[in-house]
């Protein structure tokens, strides 16, 4: 490989950058994290102020009773709220990552993207299925903990195929999931911190470090 530089250190750095671009997904935008965190906070606000009637439907009591009737109106409304947040976050991640890829002249769909999604989805889908099983078997107290932990595992698993910061976000989500399993009655609070606040913090760090 030829380079325009006669400095071996610069040549080595250029080679490393080329190898990194070919092996890692670098189009993940910090704005996507901020957007996803914002969606999570809005969804949590809707859940608290509308679905749970500002705490009149107690979160812990709801979790303990949902297994007896998993398809009651409160459960359905919370499910719809969660699905809307998830779809909005995914669309936002795609849009901002696509825009970043376009600006940097890179392709969004590459072998690195496929590897990233594969390692991300295996723990994520497994955790989602396990959470559904918990709900149907009336073991809903640990749903918040399970989703946070499996989401964190998916980020750690995918971290080696993208920017390193996502690895530490995953570790943070795992810790929050463990705490949610200890303090069961505060699952919604840990969701707000994990899916909302931490995504915004992560997105701001990523944006100022790589995109500003």
Report pLDDT digits (tens) over 162-208. Answer: 877 889 999 999 999 999 999 988 888 898 999 999 999 999 998 88
Q: What is the rounded distance in angstroms from the CA atom of residue 205 to the CA atom of residue 67? A: 40
User: Which helix (H) or strand (E) is 37 found in, with range?
Assistant: helix 30-46
Residue pair 194/147 in contact (Cβ under 8 Å)? The answer is no
Q: Give which of 167, 163, 153, 157 is closest to 100, Cα–Cα.
A: 163
- Which of the four pLDDT bands, split at 50, 70 and 90, describes residue 65? very low
- Which of the four pLDDT bands, split at 50, 70 and 90, describes residue 9? low
pTM: 0.78
Q: What is residue 211's DSSP assignment?
A: I
How confident is the model over 120-147, as pLDDT tens digits?
A: 899 999 998 998 888 788 777 788 899 9
> Could you tell me the residue ranges of all domains in the chain?
28-211
Dihedral sign, CA of 91, 177, 61, 59? negative
């Amino acid at each position: 490989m030829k380079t325009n530089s006669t400095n071996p250190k610069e040549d080595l750095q250029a080679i490393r950058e080329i190898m990194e671009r070919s092996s890692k997904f670098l189009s993940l935008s910090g704005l996507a994290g901020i957007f996803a965190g914002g969606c999570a906070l809005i969804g949590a606000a809707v859940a608290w102020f509308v679905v749970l009637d500002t705490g009149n439907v107690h979160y812990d009591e709801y979790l303990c009773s949902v297994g007896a009737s998993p398809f009651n109106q409160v459960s359905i409304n919370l499910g719809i709220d969660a699905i809307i947040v998830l779809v909005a976050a995914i669309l936002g991640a795609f849009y901002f990552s696509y825009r970043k890829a376009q600006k940097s002249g890179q392709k969004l769909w590459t072998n690195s993207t496929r590897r990233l999604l594969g390692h991300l989805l295996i723990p994520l889908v497994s955790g989602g299925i396990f959470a559904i099983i918990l709900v149907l078997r009336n073991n809903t107290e640990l749903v918040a903990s399970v989703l946070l932990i499996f989401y964190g595992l998916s980020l750690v698993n995918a971290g080696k195929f993208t920017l390193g910061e996502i690895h530490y976000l995953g570790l943070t989500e795992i810790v929050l999931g463990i705490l949610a399993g200890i303090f069961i009655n505060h699952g919604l609070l840990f969701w707000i911190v994990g899916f909302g606040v931490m995504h915004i913090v992560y997105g701001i760090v990523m944006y100022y470090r790589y995109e500003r």
